[in-house]
A = this chain, B = another copy of it.
Amino acid sequence: MINRLCVIGVGLIGGSLALALKKAGYVNKVVGAGRNIEHLEKAKSLGIIDQCETDLGKAVSHADMVFIAVPLGAMAGVFNKIEPFLHKHTIVTDAGSAKHCVVEDATRELGVKVNQFIPGHPIAGTEKSGAIAAFDSLYQARRVIITPLEENSRDDINKVRAMWKAAGADVDEMGARHHDLVLAGTSHLPHILAFSLVDCLNQVDDVDEIFRFAAGGFRDFTRIASSDPVMWRDICLSNGEAVLAMMNRFENQLTTLKAAIENNDADALLEIFSRAKKARDGFCM
């Protein structure tokens, strides 16, 4: 049970956690914090938060739990602003899609108080953004990865785990570096491919016709290209090393496939497609 939850960045991710915890009766009061008072008032009118606060210091000063759900590029600034106002008992966690960079920011900006920061990443979301897109079941049966620091106490880690369980999620723990590599493959690379495909077709002469004849598969495939550009810019910059490694792997794969097409190599094509289908059918039952 959380008495006072402070959500910094009341968008899809932050707003949905507030709604889920309210529905579960797991929180008494939610303070929404951010730079834009109109966005916060809107979130309040939607019943997502109970109080609006544009001063981050005030927002966190009496919080039991602080949830930071801002783009990765804004994390360091948030840590810097809240550090002087963090009470000893306050736990801070986040929703950053890459973890090593957030750990670096937190270590630098929070100083000795970094022990109060439990890095986390809910593997959930939609291509929509903003408080208006938030809903209370976003985290139901989804996974949350926590990448604990050596400085964290098991008690604090367990409080973050319990919060996510109350929101309906399953919680795993792993190292930050490992998290970043896994997510580069399953999330960051697919988003880059979807953005790139749409941008690539958008530069073809008959672009209107191309999109007119796009079928359902194309819509599914490119849905994630409607995601927030700022968020994805920051992910590419913050997890560049792992993302580039995955992109290189993928390019090698395309090169192999191109060679098979150029050489009319029916066996090689069938082998690649069969292997992929088998893998995909296997993990998405």
Binding site for B on A (CB under 8 A): 73, 123-127, 142-143, 145, 172, 182-183, 185-187, 189-204, 206-207, 209-230, 232-233, 236-237, 240, 243-244, 246-247, 249-254, 257-258, 260-262, 264, 266, 269-270, 272-277, 279-284
Contacts and interface: CB of A to CB of B under 8 A. Distances in A.
A226 B277 contact: yes
Nearest to A282: B211
A244 B219 contact: no
Give the dominant DSSP class at A's interface. Answer: helix
A187 B215 contact: yes
A276 B141 CA distance: 30
A176 to B, nearest CB: 14
Contact of A191 (B199, B202, B217, B230): B217
A142 B217 CA distance: 12
Contacts of A182: 206, 209-210, 213
15 contacts: A172-B213, A185-B204, A186-B215, A187-B214, A190-B217, A193-B193, A196-B254, A196-B257, A197-B253, A198-B279, A220-B221, A225-B276, A226-B284, A247-B258, A251-B251
Contacts of A253: 196-197, 199-200
A10 B18 CA distance: 51
A15 B209 CA distance: 28
Given A201-B279, A229-B273, 15 more contacts: A143-B213, A186-B213, A193-B221, A194-B221, A195-B257, A196-B253, A196-B254, A199-B275, A207-B279, A217-B223, A220-B220, A226-B281, A227-B277, A228-B277, A236-B257
A31 to B, nearest CB: 28
Contacts of A230: 270
Number of copies: 2
Given A193-B197, A275-B199, A261 B236 contact: yes
Nearest to A267: B233
Contacts of A215: 123-125, 142-143, 186-187
A224 B213 contact: no
A183 B191 CA distance: 22
Given A190-B197, A200-B253, A261 B283 contact: no
B211 A186 contact: yes
A210 B182 CA distance: 5
Contacts of A172: 213
A266 B233 contact: yes
Contacts of A275: 199, 202
